[in-house]
Amino acid sequence: MPDKETPAVRYRQLADECRKAAKSLSLNDRAAALEMAEAWDRLADQCAGGTPPFFQPGAPEQPVMQQQQQIQSTKDETKSS
């Protein structure tokens, strides 16, 4: 997959692959492959124009977010304070 490929472009490629594969499948499998192609096309339509490429070289990495736990006091600890 090229670095600057958008999800919409990739989804259209997957739809095309499903349609190509459908030509060599049995009737039931062909119907399933064509349904999958339609699903990929719908995803591509939803993403078209507004989705950035999967990978942008030189883009700064996003920092990893960490969650902190807070210790909750128990009933016994609150009585003794």
What is the reported pLDDT for 3?
59
Taking the alpha carbons at both ends of the chain, their separation in whole angstroms is 61
Instruction: Write the DSSP assignment of 22-38 as a string of letters.
Output: HTTS-HHHHHHHHHHHH
Residue where the block lists tokens 């009933």: 75
Band of pLDDT at residue 77, cut at 50, 70 and 90: low
In this predicted model, which residue has the larger pLDDT, 70 or 15? Answer: 15
pTM of the entire predicted model: 0.59
Mean per-residue pLDDT for 60-67?
65
Mean per-residue pLDDT for 53-78?
65
pLDDT per residue as tens digits for the range 7-57: 888 999 999 999 999 999 999 999 999 999 999 999 998 888 766 666 555
